[in-house]
Amino acid sequence: MKILVPVKRVIDYNVKPRVKADGSGVDLANVKMSMNPFDEIAVEEALQIKEAGNAEEVVVVSIGPAKAAETLRTGMAMGADRAIHVATDEEVEPLAVAKILKAVVEEETPGLVILGKQAIDDDSNQTGQMLAALLGRPQGTFASKVVVEGDSVAVTREVDGGLETVKLAMPAIVTTDLRLNEPRYASLPNIMKAKKKPLDAKTPADYGVDIAPRLKTLKVAEPPVRSAGIKVENVDALVAKLKEMGVA
């Protein structure tokens, strides 16, 4: 079985994003970038499934600018066998990403597609579900446990009421939650080996996908600064203050 893992290059989760002065978007100049944390978890899960003998190959794919190749090299340094880079400098919305991934899946025919439940830059949480719908394949989202059982996969999902386990016939789509695993660090020897692993260069046009945006960003602004709290002497003073503020 082959496992396909889509990964995204995003602002590192330790970095505080800065808004551009003109409010047109987030400033990416001289900002540390890294693999989306949920996608790191997806890569780790795919590698664990392979190490357990339930897969023969792990392929990572990314859609983005030239520097997204660095993210793919990180995935291969973790242990992925090869990579596919769909190069574009345009911002690609979740539906277009799903359409490109659909074409990649049809070309690669993986038994499992494992991807992060969302990217930390746009927090859309849409791509996995859209991909499953476009392919007509079963999906297990927000996975906290994944067990391959022959031609099926059992996915334990984190839902509002606790945990839910679904059994999916493969090929299937799985999106990862935070508690699924702890991603490994890439060792220096593996980082060096990753430089020699195959990385195929593609474009959205190669897959016949129009990535023209359907949405327009009007303005981007930082959240307003919260005002400082105050202390009151007793409950009566609290009630009076709340009335004064118009919230009671």
The amino acid sitting at 83 is: A
In the chain, pLDDT over 70 holds for what percent of residues? 100
**Architecture of domain 2-245 in CATH?**
3-Layer(aba) Sandwich (3.40)
pLDDT at residue 122 is higher than 90: no
- Among 79, 72, 75, 84, which residue's Cα sits nearest to residue 110? 84
Summarize the confidence of residues 177-187 as an average pLDDT: 92
Per-residue model confidence as pLDDT tens digits over 133-143 = 999 999 999 99
Q: What is the number of alpha carbons within 13 Å of residue 99 lying toward its C-beta?
A: 15
Per-residue model confidence as pLDDT tens digits over 77-90 = 999 999 999 999 98
Q: How confident is the model at residue 227 (pLDDT cuts 50, 70, 90)?
A: confident
Summarize the confidence of residues 197-205 as an average pLDDT: 94
Give the pLDDT confidence score for residue 217 in this predicted structure. 85
Give the pLDDT confidence score for residue 102 in this predicted structure. 97
Name the residue with higher pLDDT: 229 or 96: 96
What letters, b where the CB count within 10 A reaches 16 and e where it falls short, cover 18-39?
eeeeeeeeeeeeeeebbbbbbb
Residue 227: count other Cβ atoms within 10 Å of its Cβ: 6
- Among 38, 34, 222, 209, which residue's Cα sits nearest to residue 124? 38
How much is the mean pLDDT over the chain? Answer: 92
Terminal alpha carbon distance of the chain: 61
Question: How far lies 209's CA from each of 8, 86, 115, 129, 227, in Å?
Answer: 18, 11, 20, 18, 47
Give the pLDDT confidence score for residue 209 in this predicted structure. 92
pLDDT at residue 225 is higher than 90: no
Token pair belonging to 26: 């987030």
Contacts made by residues 218-225, CB under 8 angstroms, sequence distance 24+: 219/23, 219/24, 220/19, 220/20, 220/23, 220/24, 220/25, 220/26, 221/19, 221/23, 222/19
In the chain, pLDDT over 90 holds for what percent of residues? 71
Give the pLDDT confidence score for residue 248 in this predicted structure. 60
Q: What is the number of alpha carbons within 13 Å of residue 121 lying toward its C-beta?
A: 21
Summarize the confidence of residues 234-244 as an average pLDDT: 89
Per-residue model confidence as pLDDT tens digits over 1-49 = 999 999 999 999 888 888 888 888 888 888 899 999 999 999 999 999 9
pLDDT at residue 246 is higher than 90: no
pLDDT at residue 63 is higher than 80: yes
Q: How confident is the model at residue 229 (pLDDT cuts 50, 70, 90)?
A: confident
Residue 82 to residue 59: CA distance in whole angstroms:
5
Strands 2-6 and 57-64: parallel
Give the pLDDT confidence score for residue 17 in this predicted structure. 86
Residue spans of beta strands (DSSP E) within the chain: 2-6, 9-11, 18-19, 26-27, 33-35, 57-64, 82-87, 112-116, 139-149, 152-159, 162-169, 172-176, 199-202
